[in-house]
Chain A
Amino acid sequence: DQQVKQNSPSLSVQEGRISILNCDYTNSMFDYFLWYKKYPAEGPTFLISISSIKDKNEDGRFTVFLNKSAKHLSLHIVPSQPGDSAVYFCAASATSGTYKYIFGTGTRLKVLA
């Protein structure tokens, strides 16, 4: 049973528009969330994180929103650029246990020029 779900396997967006990638989780003990980006033939690279004490974290063009009551987080990319085309993974971890990250299956974003 997947605790972190990315229900959209792919997303296409026009250059300059907003990209919104979604992630849902089921474990109410998760309190730290991350987004990673992966280009082909490369390892995932860290993008942005958010702790459950916040509902928003922003870094340049990237903003992560957390809705704890809905167990939902989203990554907004504004404006989207062709170089943002990659697979995006969300991950979560809980305060208890081993602090390991639980990853989603990823969403492939394609930004069209």
Chain B
Amino acid sequence: ETGVTQTPRHLVMGMTNKKSLKCEQHLGHNAMYWYKQSAKKPLELMFVYNFKEQTENNSVPSRFSPECPNSSHLFLHLHTLQPEDSALYLCASSRTSGRTDTQYFGPGTRLTVL
């Protein structure tokens, strides 16, 4: 595997379910990101991790809980989501969280909350 991978690619869940999204990067990067893209809206940064430490939480509701056990893996734990949380969730990584370090994106997980 190369680049940034995300699993699952598609997920349908009920509002009472608990699920997790997984991201893995094979680029030797130290920063990882979660973005959300809702229909007709721009990509919106959710969380930033730099060297496993969370450095940005963009006012994300607590029903989204990120976890970064090491620089290569990033999880997004989902609990009691709402239908408006249905969106494409994209993971990205970069060498560091500096803004001139190119962010490499995974293919995303398409989430549908029923």
Contacts and interface: CB of A to CB of B under 8 A. Distances in A.
Interface of A: 2, 4, 32, 36, 41-46, 49, 89, 91, 93, 98-106
Nearest to B91: A43
Interface in B78-114: 90, 92, 97-100, 102-108
Contacts of B56: 98, 100
Given A100-B58, A105-B41, A44 B105 contact: yes
Given A43-B92, A43-B105, A43-B108, A103 B43 contact: yes
Interface residues of B, number: 24
Interface of B: 4, 40-45, 48, 55-56, 58, 90, 92, 97-100, 102-108
Nearest to A92: B99
Contact of A4 (B42, B97, B104): B42
Given A2-B42, A100-B45, A100-B56, A45 B100 contact: no
Contacts of A43: 4, 90, 92, 104-108
B93 to A, nearest CB: 11
A9 to B, nearest CB: 9
A41 B58 CA distance: 25
Nearest to B3: A43
A43 B42 CA distance: 14
A45 B107 contact: no
Given A49-B100, A98-B56, A99-B99, A42 B41 contact: no
Given A43-B106, A100-B45, A103-B43, A32 B92 contact: no
